[in-house]
Amino acid sequence: MKIIVNGQQAFGKACLEAMLQRGDDVVAVYCAPDKEGKPVDPIKEFALEKGLNLIQPPNYKDAAVLDEMRALNADLMVMAFMIIFVPEEARDIPTHGSICFHPSLLPKHRGPSSINWPIIGGAKKTGLTIFWPDDGLDEGDILLQKEVDITPDDTLGTVYFEKIFPLGVATVLEAVDLVKAGDPPHLAQNEDDATYESWCKKEHAEIDWSKPVDEVYNLIRGTNPQPGAWTLHNGNELKIFDCAKVDVKGAPGEVTDIGDDGFSVAAQGGGIRVGRVRPHNGKKIQAAEFVESSGLATGDVLGDISA
């Protein structure tokens, strides 16, 4: 079966590498055009290293782009981490159409930050979906899904890199095999269960210390490492990364104690032990180092105290 791999970044590269390692016939690799001043995409570097047919169209609407894809006589297009919309006319060119990876259990968490939001919302499970995309955002029939647990200590980073990423690569291969075998599943998404969230941005990651401690904790770990939960110290932005829930009492945002392993900040019903931070003008450092350099003291209040 002749396959087009269309993707970006480390996940796209990992899928391509896994397919080549097992002998899949990859007739072309598509990825986004280069951006001035940005590093070369890892999937592009890998495709060139392997001598593959690399194509970087600015869109998938131009007749010349579609004709070039038709000339490949591909049987399937595998879309692995997409940042450019691919319309139906292009998706339907391969004999068996196109399949796409999405890091959530569709139809829940359609949209670009689909790993952040389940963690922020306190979910105990998420997962990934391989689906047959249509022109809607993360819509289309489901081919294959896998669940992953979100443990109390998981962050965005651990859920993606330790769970969804490796499982996603394996599941892409499984999905390709289902298409090869014939009569692969086409399960309609239940629109009654559908949710959509846009990008998780800086404005969503500001810590409100008056919220229940579980909500504060979930926000910090659901934005670790990106975009990074933040608060204010002496009017300057302070991002908080590694943390744990602790049993402390104090006013919202109050620094209740300081130690060699960091400092604690009170929220509603408990507190957060802060282990690693990024000051507004620096790099990520241990919380104890920040205490020493900033003069943070017990009784200080983090956040917008004028609100």
Q: Which residues contact 35 (CB under 8 A, 6 or more apart)?
A: none
Here the CATH number for the domain that contains residue 226 is 3.10.25.10
Question: 306 lies in a domain?
Answer: no
On whether both 149 and 113 belong to a single domain, the answer is yes
Residue-wise pLDDT for 18-37, tens only, equals 999 999 999 999 999 999 99
Domain count, the chain: 2
Task: Estimate to the nearest angstrom the gap between the alpha carbon of 45 and the chain centroid.
Answer: 22
Question: 257 lies in a domain?
Answer: yes
Last residue of a domain, one of 193, 223, 254: 193
On whether both 95 and 123 belong to a single domain, the answer is yes
Domain region containing 230: 202-294
On whether both 250 and 226 belong to a single domain, the answer is yes
Question: 187 lies in a domain?
Answer: yes
On whether both 227 and 181 belong to a single domain, the answer is no
Q: Which residues contact 242 (CB under 8 A, 6 or more apart)?
A: 224, 274, 275, 276
Helices (H) and strands (E) in the chain, counts: 9, 15
Residue-wise pLDDT for 129-156, tens only, equals 999 999 999 999 999 999 999 999 999 9
Assess contact for 244 and 216: CB atoms under 8 A.
no
The reported pLDDT for the residue numbered 305 is: 61
Question: 286 lies in a domain?
Answer: yes
Pairing of strands 229-233, 236-240: antiparallel
Q: Which residues contact 122 (CB under 8 A, 6 or more apart)?
A: 214, 215, 218
On whether both 89 and 233 belong to a single domain, the answer is no
Assess contact for 138 and 98: CB atoms under 8 A.
no
On whether both 81 and 182 belong to a single domain, the answer is yes
Give the pLDDT mean for 149-172: 98
Give the pLDDT mean for 244-248: 97
Question: 302 lies in a domain?
Answer: no
Question: 153 lies in a domain?
Answer: yes
Last residue of a domain, one of 193, 226, 246: 193
Calpha distance 63→29 (Å, rounded): 19
On whether both 49 and 149 belong to a single domain, the answer is yes
On whether both 160 and 253 belong to a single domain, the answer is no
Q: Which residues contact 112 (CB under 8 A, 6 or more apart)?
A: 198, 199
Could you tell me which residue, 281 or 78, shows the higher pLDDT? 78
Question: 301 lies in a domain?
Answer: no
Here the CATH number for the domain that contains residue 148 is 3.40.50.170
Question: 307 lies in a domain?
Answer: no
Residue-wise pLDDT for 92-118, tens only, equals 999 999 999 999 999 999 999 999 999
In this predicted structure, the answer to whether residue 306 has a pLDDT above a threshold of 60 is: no
Last residue of a domain, one of 159, 193, 227: 193
Nearest to 165 by CA among 40, 16, 14, 44: 14
On whether both 170 and 231 belong to a single domain, the answer is no
Assess contact for 175 and 146: CB atoms under 8 A.
no
On whether both 174 and 249 belong to a single domain, the answer is no
On whether both 72 and 182 belong to a single domain, the answer is yes
What integer best gives the mean pLDDT of the chain?
Answer: 97
B/e letters for 43-69, b = 16+ CB within 10 Å, e = fewer, are bbebbeeeebebbebeebeeeebbebb
Instruction: Give the 3-state secondary structure of residue 288.
Output: helix
On whether both 260 and 147 belong to a single domain, the answer is no
